[in-house]
Amino acid sequence: MFAEGYLWFLLARFGQGALLIASIFWIWVLVDCLVKEPSEGNDKIAWVLFVLLVPIIGASVYYFVRRPERIKVAGR
């Protein structure tokens, strides 16, 4: 009985920690996109909307696909 309750407690804490880390990552990517993405064309608007409307997936795609490309081209 005690072990089962303790397991649920640990799983709840792990879930809260994962949610906190995901939220921090999402906010960081959104700010990075708003501040450092070039304003040429509609790229900035499209990426911001993508990150806002599809939070974790959009932030991950921006971080692993667009950000390295932007750094390579713009240097920041």
Looking at residue 70, its pLDDT comes to 80
- Domain range list for the chain: 2-74
CA distance linking residue 59 with residue 39, whole number of Å: 19
pLDDT (tens digit, 0 to 9) for every residue of the chain, 76 residues total?
Answer: 566 777 888 888 888 999 999 999 999 999 999 998 888 888 889 999 999 999 999 999 999 998 888 878 777 6
CA 43 to chain centre: 18
Looking at residue 1, its pLDDT comes to 54
CA distance linking residue 35 with residue 27, whole number of Å: 12
CA 45 to chain centre: 16
User: Could you tell me the pTM of the whole model?
Assistant: 0.79
